[in-house]
Structure 1
Amino acid sequence: MRIVCLCGGVGGAKLARGLYDVLEPGELTVIGNVGDDLTVLGVHVSPDLDSVLYALAGVNDEERGWGRAGETWRALESARSWGGEGWFQLGDLDLGVHLVRTEALRRGDPLSAVTERLVRAAGIEAHLLPATDDPLRTHVVTPAGRFAFQEWFVARGHRDEVDDVVVAGDEEAGPAPGVLEAIERADGIVIAPSNPYVSIDPILAVRPIRDVLASRRAACVAVSPLIGGRAVKGPLDRMLSRMAGGTTPAHVAARYAGLIDALVIDEADAPARAGVPLAVTRTLMTGREDARRLAAFTLEVVS
């Protein structure tokens, strides 16, 4: 069973790991968001790709929800002491991946090729594809001004309310090699419980990806990132309330109008109507067993 998962953020990485656990080797392809990539202290960081990479490799920090287990920050502390910027948490273990990626990108290797090598080095039997190899960057428009995503999310603690999300470079960006083919060949497509505005929309901003998803032959199911109308982590509930007018399953489904055949929602959000069929289960993933259970349930819906 060939499954494609569109994914970004911590919740997306958790479900990707659940899918990886319940599928056969080689059956999972994850298409990751690169809109929040950035350069910090000279190294290229791909936070969403790395979250999936670490989760699939089983080295992610499940308690903190991001980064590597057993992480330390001595290099960052040293950089700060020498006057370097320290607002973005570059861990020592994490830094190894960034250094390898940055060196390869400077040689002219595309991000997709670098990511494939990292997946192989980690011994992962799945495919992890960036949505695009082209520069694509998410910005949020707030009453305080327009900010690059990580500046708003990390440096400013996502305290500013969001009036709009802009994906710079979307008109020029093309899909990374293998992305369209994976969607076309898929037996099922899953949109992870990620923030639609800042994790999934940047993937769909690559127009050929949206077009092939709209003309899909396989079923596409989204998993709602809300529980009881609230985000498990992050500002999504505030964003939906401000920009869409509410946080019901209907508001989530509307973000994927014409792209999904069903929406998986938590028991706390039922009963509800959303314009697409709803599948109800417990969606909170507090550990790998929860992720496996949600993945298995989602696969039943998508099949």
Structure 2
Amino acid sequence: MLPPQPRVVVLAGGVGGSKFTLGVRAALRRLNAPEATVVVNTGDDLWLSGVRLQPDVDSITYALAGVNDTERGWGRAGDTERVNEELQAWGAGWPWFTLGDLDLGTHLARTGWLRDGLTPTEVLARMAQRWPLGIRMLPMTDSEVDTHVLFDDGGRLHFQEWWTRHRAKLTPRAFENPGIADAVPAPGVAEAIAAADVVLIAPSNPVVSIGPILAVSGIRDAVRDTSAKVVGVSPIIGGRVVRGMADVCLTAIGVETSAAAVARQYGARSADGVLDAWLLAEEDAAGAPEVEAAGIRAVVTPLWMRDEATSAAIAEAALGA
């Protein structure tokens, strides 16, 4: 059993990760437990118009701060785009990649601190001083690791161009993370996982959000070696992705778009994987025996994150697993 005030680590990225992290924070507050540590994917970061963008970091930060644009699913609420329009008038940046004015303020502050010599870990700590996030956030690594999409014709695109401009309609052959072979976990990541009572894998894209985190040398081993229970939450409900184009990513690596198939892709810790338990939606209950057969405890529960209360209920179910 978990202690009454568990120490929790979450591996997360993107919009699904931000919604789940809100639920984890709410659930832990009910338990009067310590703040969770969230290890955030930085594999889709990029330089654009001279500033460093960290899309997953910012999505989770804005959500925790309560300033995110819930309608668009990204960026700041009530943002304007005057600077973005001026950049486009100069032929700078990407015309199909909108940078809001408030969002640019974040990117400029981050870039300035990085130029001053701060590490991404130190930048995140400084960002957290502005808003009471109620979560300790760490990047997966302080190294620069982007994601590239490879195609059969030998071409490649930055993940953000493939995802945002082409809406993942160009069929990928594979995904690559230049620089990840030399990356090491950011300070505190391995230690937090080792000291945790439970490690939660958020319902984020398994390929381009959670995949890069686990690919950083030492993080997968830390997850496998921890005494904590490792519980994942399916990003697939009713055989379909909840948001985004994760199904295209899964197809590219030869994985079926199903809750059970994603669980098998992560694998059981008893068989060189990372999972002890896996939360499936009620719509996917028929796949529970398949998950159990892979050596992973299957827990069937509602998984729609409609608001903070439903997200908290999912987090509580994950802790209970």
TM-score in same-fold range (> 0.5): yes
Provide, for residues 247-280 of structure 1, a one-character-per-residue CA deviation record: whole Å limited to 9, x for no partner.
2223101221210101111111112122111111
1:58 and 2:89 aligned: no
Distance 2:57 2:307 in 1: 20
Query: Which residue of structure 2 lines up, in the alignment, with residue 260 of structure 1?
Result: 275
SS at match of 1:5: strand
Counterparts of 1:196 and 1:245 in 2: how far apart (Å)? 10
Moved more, 76-85 or 223-232: 76-85
Distance in 1 (CA, whole Å) between partners of 2:126 and 2:304 is 32
Q: Distance in 1 between matches of 2:185 and 2:251?
A: 31
- Matched to 1:197, the amino acid is V
1:154-303 equivalence runs, <5 A: 154-257=164-267, 258-272=273-287, 273-274=290-291, 275=294, 276-301=296-321
Q: CA deviation at 1:244?
A: 2.4
TM-superposition CA deviations, 1:204-248 (whole Å, max 9, x none): 111111111111110001111011111111111233244324222
1:42 equivalenced with 2:50 (yes/no): yes
Shift of 1:147: 1.5
- 2 CA distance for matches of 1:87 and 1:209? 34
How far apart in 1 are the matches of 2:307 and 2:210?
23
- Distance apart, 1:26 and its partner CA: 4.0
For these two proteins, the number of residue pairs brought into alignment is 301
Aligned counterpart in structure 1 of residue 121 of structure 2, from 89, 112, 116: 112
With 190-199 and 145-154 compared, the bigger mean Cα shift is at: 145-154
Distance 1:27 1:20 in 2: 7
Bigger mean CA offset, 250-259 vs 12-21: 250-259
In structure 1, C-alpha distance between the alignment counterparts of 2:92 and 2:255, rounded to whole Å: 41
Distance in 2 between the 1:242 and 1:175 partners? 27
The answer for unaligned runs of 5 or more in structure 2 is 1-5, 268-272
Same amino acid, percent of matched pairs: 45
State the Cα distance separating 1:56 from its structure 2 match: 1.0
* Structure 2 match to 1:143: 152
Q: Work out whether residues 240 and 251 of structure 1, in 8 Å CA contact, stay in contact via their aligned partners in 2.
A: no
TM-score (norm. length: structure 1): 0.95
The separation in 2 between residues aligned to 1:125 and 1:284, in whole angstroms, is 23
Aligned twin of 2:270: none
Which stretch of structure 1 is more off in the superposition, 161-170 or 261-270? 161-170
Distance 2:19 2:47 in 1: 25
The 1:106–1:242 alpha-carbon spacing in structure 2 relative to 1, beyond 3 Å, is closer
Separation (CA, whole Å) in 1 of partners of 2:148 and 2:34: 34
Cα distance in 1 for partners of 2:43, 2:142 equals 11
CA distance in 1, matches of 2:252, 2:90: 41
1:68 counterpart SS class: coil
Could you tell me how far 1:116 is from its partner in structure 2?
Answer: 0.7
Could you tell me which runs of 5 or more consecutive residues in structure 1 were left unpaired when the two chains were aligned: none
Question: What amino acid is the match of 1:9?
Answer: G
Say if 1:219 and 1:261, in contact at 8 Å, map to a contact too.
yes
* RMSD over equivalenced CA pairs, Å: 1.4
| Distance of 2:75 and 2:314 partners within structure 1 | 22
**Structure 1 stretch 110-119 or stretch 267-276: which is displaced more?**
267-276
Q: Which of residues 27, 30, 40 is equivalent to 1:32?
A: 40
Aligned equivalent of 1:6: 11
TM-score by length of 2: 0.90
Contact preservation (8 Å) 1:26, 1:125: no
Cα pair 1:40 1:88 within 8 Å, conserved: no
Q: Deviating runs (4+, > 3 A) in structure 1? A: none
Shift in Å, 1:163: 2.0
Partner of 2:98: 89
Instruction: Specify the alignment match of 2:3 in structure 1.
Output: none
SS in 2 for 1:263: strand
Greater shift in the superposed pair: 146-155 or 220-229: 146-155
Aligned partner of 1:264: which letter?
A: L
